[in-house]
Structure 1
Amino acid sequence: MADTDRLAQLERKLQYLMDRSDILDCIARNARGCDRHDSDVLNSSYHADGTDEHGVVISAGDTYSDYANMVHAASCQQNLHNITTHSCEIDGDEAHAESYVIGLFLAPDGLTGRLIAGRYVDRLERRDGAWKIALRRSTVDVLLVGDASVVNEQFFKDMGYLKGMRDKTDASYQRPLTLEETPGDRW
């Protein structure tokens, strides 16, 4: 194989790896935006003319954060979206991805929690060099409700864990990250 052929092959492989990484970063950014109620971060994962389908609710990409933040604020005091298995097919500037998601939601009363396992089925497009969601369809494959009252027990509160915040007071925004006390709550 000629050096130019090997170089071209390496460039294709590198582009594929960069695209996969950018796509997974976009999907992770979406989950983080949901959990921190950060509309800017959440909206940055969609093209402005993108579409999100969550059941019968269909939202425009540039306004999906309004819906997500409202639902999460009304239905739970904490939420975490965990992206697990991820597959992706890339064809030029278009990609189709399937990302398994496990959502954990602490009820407003702090006594029960929901676990929702499903998948995000996405069509992403690279525009102006940036991969973003053009269409997201969400599935729910498992839904469980369980006892979450342990977070109210004194032994747990005495452990002093940071509580995730739904705004920029969350420790993940602290730069540089230090052991200095950040605004926000502990359990």
Structure 2
Amino acid sequence: MDEDRFAALERELRALKDRQEILDCIVSTSRGNDRFDKDLITGSYHPDGQHELGRQIISGQDYGDHANHAHGAISEVNLHNVTMHSCEIDGDVAHAESYVIGLFADKGAATSRMLAGRYIDRLERRDGIWRIALRRATVEVAMEGKAILPNGNGVVGSGYLKGSRDRSDPSYQRPLTAEGGERW
């Protein structure tokens, strides 16, 4: 293989690796939010990173405690779904836009809500690691409706595995087995 083709392949591989590491970083904050895993959340931000939430600017290092407190105060269960994702990389700086759908079973579990918006992120690679330098979050759709599973009025065929907001969640189990776990 000639040197030009090899260099082109290296650039393509670097771009693909960067995109995946950036998406992994963004998804890590959402997983951390749902599992109340402060380390996953704060580990996605540089030490001087910031998270804009409405008119409030929160340090990335404080965002884990803030998110866990806020989600715990308003909901029994929450799930953040990162959907469409675009990313522009220029050296060690990237700008990403990720659509997110947040689902929340309200306290008391009679109602639930959905918030949909976007994470608009500037990420930087420092010491070889991509992390968020600035996150601006939008909320563009908000809906509310009746909750079914958390209030004990399960749907036909329920008995599904129930997640938890800590490291007892089945997603942390290694190796994963079919044993244990709370059910709806």
* TM-score bracket for the superposition, by shorter chain length: over 0.9
Alpha carbon RMSD of aligned pairs, Å?
Answer: 1.5
Classify the secondary structure of the residue corresponding to 2:183: coil
* Distance (whole Å) between structure 2 residues aligned to residue 46 and residue 177 of structure 1: 29
* Distance (whole Å) between structure 2 residues aligned to residue 150 and residue 62 of structure 1: 33
1:95 corresponds to which residue? 94
Classify the secondary structure of the residue corresponding to 2:155: helix
2:25 corresponds to which residue? 26
Q: Deviations over 1:39-74 (max 9, x none)?
A: 011111111110001102211011110110000000
Classify the secondary structure of the residue corresponding to 2:14: helix
2:110 touches 2:148 (CA, 8 Å); kept in 1? Answer: yes
* Distance (whole Å) between structure 2 residues aligned to residue 145 and residue 180 of structure 1: 35
* Distance (whole Å) between structure 1 residues aligned to residue 74 and residue 19 of structure 2: 33
TM-score normalised over the length of structure 2: 0.95
1:151 touches 1:157 (CA, 8 Å); kept in 2? Answer: no
Which residues of 2 match residues 71-110 of structure 1 at below 5 A?
71-110=70-109
1:102 touches 1:118 (CA, 8 Å); kept in 2? Answer: yes
2:136 corresponds to which residue? 137
Quote the offset at 1:162 in angstroms: 1.5
Amino acid paired to 1:99 = S
Quote the offset at 1:99 in angstroms: 0.1
Which residues of 2 match residues 46-61 of structure 1 at below 5 A?
46-61=45-60
Runs (5+) with no aligned partner, structure 2: none
Q: Which deviates further from its counterpart, 105-114 or 150-159?
A: 150-159
- Cα 1:144–1:40 change in 2 (3 A) is same
Quote the offset at 1:156 in angstroms: 3.4
Taking only the aligned residue pairs, the percentage that are identical comes to: 57
2:43 corresponds to which residue? 44
Runs of 4+ in structure 1 off by over 6 angstroms are none
